[in-house]
Amino acid sequence: MTTSTASNALPVTVLTRDDISIATRAADKFTQLYYTTYDSPSRLADLPNFYRSTSSLTWNGKPLQGPDGVRSLIEKMPPTKHEMQSFDCHPIPGATPPSLLVTVSGTVVHGKPVQHAPGQRSKTVEGQPRVFSQTFMLVPDSAAAPSQPGEPAKYYIGADALRFVG
């Protein structure tokens, strides 16, 4: 990241190609780890570790707070299987390393997939793939061990918003 100033203006932070590349690698690593953890049998113990007490989560319009909010949500949820279709990452200038805005789209199945006869549809969403969009604000984790130059920083989820879109 480089900083420049115009006369009588605040410093302007310019992201470099390396900043974008490192941020994208961090987001890729994060999304793979997050959804693998979410779909694992140990998710109740492990998924809340991605959040801090100040983290906010909005799950399909329902606000939750911190690791306890995440835990209360997933303890009532059947097993899941996420298929990530795509993600996009935008570093937010202002700090080194920058916070990251990560948007993910994909499908998720809650419960075991249901096999139907051709032309038959289920009356429930359990076992059916649902399209989702999820946006994360990843914040550099100052409590984590420092990263080496050129390596992605360690992040936690500062904000998380999930919405079913189909």
Q: Identify the band that residue 95 occupies on the pLDDT scale cut at 50, 70 and 90.
A: confident
- Model confidence pLDDT, tens digit, residues 41-58: 999 999 999 999 999 999
Contact partners, residue 53, CB within 8 Å, separation at least 6: 65, 66, 67
Q: How far apart are the first and last CA of the chain?
A: 39
Residue written as tokens 């470099």?
16
Q: Is 37 left (phi over 0), alpha (psi -120 to 50) or beta?
A: alpha
What span, in angstroms and rounded, lies between the C-alpha atoms of 16 and 70?
Answer: 35
| Higher per-residue pLDDT: 13 or 24 | 24
Task: Tell me the pTM.
Answer: 0.81
Output 68 or 123, whichever has higher pLDDT.
68
For 2-128, strand residue ranges (E) read: 2-4, 12-14, 51-59, 62-65, 80-92, 99-110
